[in-house]
């Protein structure tokens, strides 16, 4: 068949895939939710910052200094401190009512004035891992500042020999949901592409429509490419809406780089992700099996891609293995463009790596698909 006929077949089969997707309301709702409410809830609901942490104070001193320390624990970092007794403290922590409890001993102000080093006890509920260490450092800094100002009239205890000036780039206020919202878009592009393509392949095999395609003058390459462009187009459109409407318009997250350049990189990565979805679809015999394969393979790859934790903090062997995964380069590309405003002159190595690894994954998926077609025909 000539090239024109191949492209026509790919286009028509892709339209069939889009009609099937439109008829599948569950998947359609999943896509819409993932790039709208899913992005917003993931960014706003899972905060790594200290906000409104419940704190209790056992004030056995009842002095002006203890009242000053209590008054320094203010919103938005902490809720208004509750004054409790020593007998109530352990039970309150056991019940999870407070994340922090500060014990100010009796005669604290007097001992401090007389040059002694009285002890303040801070109890932390470390089950709240993300906030326990941050809150402890905040309370330590607040208490140290108040005590220094009380004793010397200055917040700092001593002048350092140098002046260290810190400038925070790309996220000057260290706002956590800026990072969370954009990373949710990246993760959803990966997951939904694989799910849509794999589910479409398994659905056709379960409904018997794959056999109908095999008796037509179609090649496995045409069938694969139709699924790739149709599912990729649906995900890319949804990702564009999520990035522009939800991230930029609703959440007011500034995008430093070029959105069209990012979408070009995403379109290139969709080729790799769709190939992985087809490969998993040829291995799994049912949707439950596909779901288990997805959890065992794709979720770990996504967690190790560098979007959750820096790759530099991973074991070297894990970091080296992840160099063979296209999502590693996609995360690096997306962060460089969207966070740091990188241009094509900076991210072209990632574009090249995604293209090369995507071609390898496509060839592997194509080989597996042809074998499954032969087994089906037999």
Burial 209-239 (b: 16+ CB within 10 A, else e): ebeebeeeebebebbbbbbbbbbbbbbbebb
What pLDDT, in 10s, does the model give residues 103-151? 999 998 888 888 888 888 888 887 766 677 788 888 888 888 888 888 7
Mean of the pLDDT values across residues 350-359? 90
What pLDDT, in 10s, does the model give residues 252-262? 888 888 899 99
Mean of the pLDDT values across residues 160-187? 73
Q: Which residue ranges form the domains of the chain, and what is each CATH number? A: 9-46+175-377 (no CATH), 55-152 (3.40.1710.10)
Q: What is the mean pLDDT of the chain?
A: 82
Contacts of residue 184, defined as CB under 8 A and 6 or more positions apart, other chains included, come to: 38, 39, 42, 43
∠ at Cα 294 (182, 327), nearest 5°? 40
What pLDDT, in 10s, does the model give residues 306-330? 877 777 778 888 888 888 888 889 9
Residue 306 structure tokens = 């560098």
């Amino acid at each position: 068949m000539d090239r024109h006929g191949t492209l026509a077949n790919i286009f028509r089969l892709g339209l069939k895939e889009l009609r099937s997707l439109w008829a599948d309301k569950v998947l359609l709702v999943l896509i819409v939710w993932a790039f709208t409410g899913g992005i917003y809830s993931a960014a706003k609901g899972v905060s790594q910052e200290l906000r409104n942490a419940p704190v209790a104070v056992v004030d056995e001193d009842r002095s002006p200094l203890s009242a000053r320390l209590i008054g320094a624990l203010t919103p938005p970092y902490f809720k208004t401190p509750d004054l409790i007794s020593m007998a109530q403290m352990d039970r309150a922590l056991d019940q999870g009512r407070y994340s922090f409890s500060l014990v100010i001993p009796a005669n604290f102000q007097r001992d401090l004035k007389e040059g002694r080093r009285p002890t303040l006890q801070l109890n932390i509920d470390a089950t709240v891992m993300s906030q326990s260490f941050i809150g402890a450092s905040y309370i330590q800094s607040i208490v140290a500042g108040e005590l220094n100002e009380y004793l010397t009239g200055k917040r700092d205890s001593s002048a350092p020999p140098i002046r260290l000036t810190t400038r925070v780039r790309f996220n000057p206020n260290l706002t956590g949901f800026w990072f969370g919202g954009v990373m949710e878009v990246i993760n959803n592009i990966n997951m939904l592409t694989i799910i849509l393509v794999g589910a479409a392949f398994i659905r056709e095999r379960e409904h018997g429509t794959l056999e109908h395609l095999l008796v037509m003058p179609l090649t496995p390459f045409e069938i694969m490419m139709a699924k790739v462009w149709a599912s990729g187009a649906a995900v890319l459109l949804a990702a564009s809406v999520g990035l522009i409407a939800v991230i930029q318009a609703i959440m007011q997250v500034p995008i430093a780089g070029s959105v069209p350049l990012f979408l070009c990189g995403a379109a290139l990565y969709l080729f790799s992700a769709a190939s992985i979805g087809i490969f998993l679809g040829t291995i799994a015999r049912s949707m439950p099996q596909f779901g288990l394969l997805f959890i065992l393979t794709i979720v770990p790859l996504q967690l190790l891609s560098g979007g959750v934790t820096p790759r530099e903090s991973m074991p070297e062997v894990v970091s080296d293995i992840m160099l063979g995964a296209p999502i590693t380069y996609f995360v690096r590309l997306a962060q460089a463009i969207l966070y740091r405003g990188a241009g094509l002159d900076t991210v072209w190595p990632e574009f090249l790596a995604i293209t090369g690894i995507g071609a390898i994954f496509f060839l592997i998926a194509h080989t597996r698909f042809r074998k499954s077609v032969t087994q089906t025909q037999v």
